[in-house]
Each structure stands twice: as C-alpha cells, then as structure tokens.
Copies of this chain bind each other. A is one copy, B any other.
C-alpha cells in the first residue's frame, strides 16, 4: 500500500503538503496540488482509513443492529442502509443480537468497541436500547417515542383495510403474527380505525390461536387482513384446503411485500414499506448528528404503499351488504 509519505518523497515535498493537496484544506499552489493528484492517481493511492480514524476520532463506520438477522425485512433494510451509507461515505458493520435482549446490549457494545460513529437500530421487541454518547437512529414505529424514522404502520393498516372497504367488504378477520410486536399492534390498530365505523371485525393472533376460516366465512367474513405476508400465505393455504376460493369467496391481504407474494397464486395484495427512503432518512439523520451537533427533527413517519394484486377482490354478491 502506498502512503502519503511515498508520494511526498517521490515529489520532493512534505507529507503535510500532500495531505493538504488531497483534502483541499490548508494552502497549496494549484501547480503542486495537480502534480500530487497525478502521482496519487498513478500509484492508486487511497488514504488509510485507519490512520485517519485514529487521528480524527472518526471511523467512518456505522453499525447496524437488528434483533434477528433472519427477520424477513432484514435483507432489504441491510441493502438500503448499505447503499445510503456508502453514498454518504460510510461503511456498515453488522451485529446480530440473536433474538435476546442481553445479546442486543452485547451487540451494541461490540460495535461501540470497534469505534463506529453511529448506530442504526431496529430494537428488540419491547426494549428501548439506550445508547449514550453515540448518534443513534432507531427504526421502529411512530408510536414508539424513541423512534427516529420508520414506516407509518398504523396508516398502513388503515390503508389496507380501507382498500377492502372500498371494494365493498364489511366483515373482516384481522390476523396478527405476534401480539408482543408493537409494529404489528399498530398495524392492527390502523385496520380497526378504518373498519370500526363501517363494518365488523374480529382479531386473532397466530402465536396464540389460528382462526378457523370456514367458521368465519360462514359467519359472514369476506376479507382477511394480516400483519405479514407469511401469515397471509398461511391463510391462503388454509382457504385452499377448506375449499374457500381466494379472492372469489375470501379476499386476503398481506403486509411487507416479501418475495413470496409474487410466487404464490393468486399473487398477494400487500402493503409495501419504502425501506429505501427510511434508510436514507436514517443515514442522513446520523450524518447530521455526527458531523455537527445540530439537532434534527425526530420521529419521521414514512407512508406505506398499497400493492393490489390477485388475492383481493370484491366480496361475493351473496355476501354484499350482509353483516354478521
């Protein structure tokens, strides 16, 4: 690896001049600056991040902490965060907290010891990781006071429900994946807010009890709203096995737009998160925090987008307008 010294020696100038020329700081004549730039190029010179980090106290690295890297959203978030970070000149170090709360603390600790300049955290269910003296962007849900930026899950739930209401549905089954998840609770809350005045609904949590679709359908339910594509897939399967046509007899709505939604038939209608935008906001927030101390607006809620595909349709004529 070539160093700043090497260039300096080659050109008979001091290393400080090289540093100045390359960084644009200090005073260097355009002529020598150009000579230095050319030589640096020839040598394929790249400054040692390590040396710079030691001197400036900035590593140029951000940490990404997720409760569980196998979270279905992780791939997209990691990709978006990495892309946004790269654009901003940062690298991304990952840390898995293996699902446990203690490990979340350990993961943060590890990243901190590696000298990251900031943290992007998707908090572990029900925890509020406090990280002192380190810029941190929390991606969770607007109802979490610690939230920095996230999708507006409540609004997403409302949109999903409204879309089906607009199609003419009046009786709904809402199925959450995990009742301990604040995100999923917000989604359900959003759905309810849209339905409560115009229709009937019942809530199930699949980690507690999975509903009997036939019974529900017999009771008049024409649409199933879920908090995850994975749950929606299960609903689709159960419906098929029970002989309930989707979307003919039952409309099914997913959440998160996972790849499986395009593989299943009918393709899943779902609600998509703008992960790219969330990542960009998180990174620029961190960047502001790192580079100045100027306060930043907190609690950005990014709108979610409805993706209508084949699993939702108008309710069957026989059921239209029928309640309970």
| A82/B95 in contact, CB under 8 A | yes
Q: A93-B92, A93-B93, A265-B237 are in contact. Are A98 and B83 (CB under 8 A)?
A: yes
Q: Known: A86-B110, A94-B82, A114-B91. Contact between A264 and B71, CB under 8 A?
A: no
Interface string of A96-113 (1 = CB under 8 A from B): 101000000000001101
Q: Is A53 an interface residue (CB 8 A)?
A: yes
Instruction: Give the contacting residue for A241; candidates B59, B115, B265; CB below 8 A.
Output: B265
Given contacts A75-B75, A82-B69, A113-B46, A238 and B260 within 8 Å (CB-CB)? no
Give complex CA distance A8, B311 in Å.
68
Compute how far the CA of A223 lies from the CA of B309 in the bound complex, rounded to whole angstroms.
29
Inter-chain contact B69/A94, CB cutoff 8 Å = no
Specify the chain B residue showing the minimal Cβ separation from A70: B75
Which of A75, A82, A240 has the largest count of B CB atoms less than 10 A from its CB?
A: A75
Minimum distance in angstroms from A312 CB to a CB of chain B? 16
- Per the 8 Å Cβ criterion, residues 274-316 of A in contact with B are none
Whether A91 contacts B91 by the Cβ 8 Å rule is: no
**Known interface pairs A46-B113, A233-B260; A78-B69 also in contact (CB < 8 Å):** yes
Q: Do residues B78 and A114 form an inter-chain contact, with CB atoms below 8 A?
A: no
Structural contact, A113 and B82, CB atoms closer than 8 A: no
- A71 nearest CB neighbor, chain B only: B75
Q: Which residues of B contact A111 (CB under 8 A)?
A: 91
A21 within 8 A of B: no
Residue numbers in B under 8 Å from A71 (CB-CB): 75
Cross-chain contact B78 with A94 (CB below 8 angstroms):
yes
The reply on A202 being an interface residue by CB < 8 A is: no
User: Which residues of B are found within 8 Å of A61, using beta-carbon distances?
Assistant: 93, 114
Bound state CA distance, A315 and B72, in angstroms?
Answer: 34
* Minimal beta-carbon separation of A74 from chain B (angstroms): 5
A83–B59 CA distance with the chains assembled, in angstroms: 22
- A/B interface sample: 6 pairs, CB < 8 A: A50-B53, A54-B54, A68-B79, A69-B76, A74-B74, A94-B94
8 new A-B contacts, CB < 8 A, other than A61-B93, A92-B93, are A51-B54, A54-B54, A64-B94, A72-B259, A82-B95, A233-B264, A234-B263, A237-B266
